[in-house]
Amino acid sequence: MPDPTPTSHEPTTAELSQADAESHHPGDIAGEAHGPDDHGTTHGHDDHAHPGEALGPVDTAMWGAFAVGIAAGLLVVLCLVLTLSVIGSAA
């Protein structure tokens, strides 16, 4: 039987040795890209918004199918409620 899947979140020795070798992670230093004081305007892109992108056309067939599906589901719920109220009142 194979070994069970480990459930511990403790780092392995390989992960610990790699963490010791790395003293700098991207974004740790102020002033660098994706650093703590980067607000998206320093290196050619905006992290929060892209005003140049326009939305595509609305897929009316897809939204119509969505509306029909919701209506059909509500009809099923209505039938179940009516059925249970009739069975409940007859008992």
Given a cut of 80, whether residue 6 has pLDDT beyond it is: no
pLDDT in tens, 7-61: 666 777 777 776 655 566 665 666 565 555 655 555 555 555 556 667 789 999 9
CB 24 within 8 A of CB 32: no
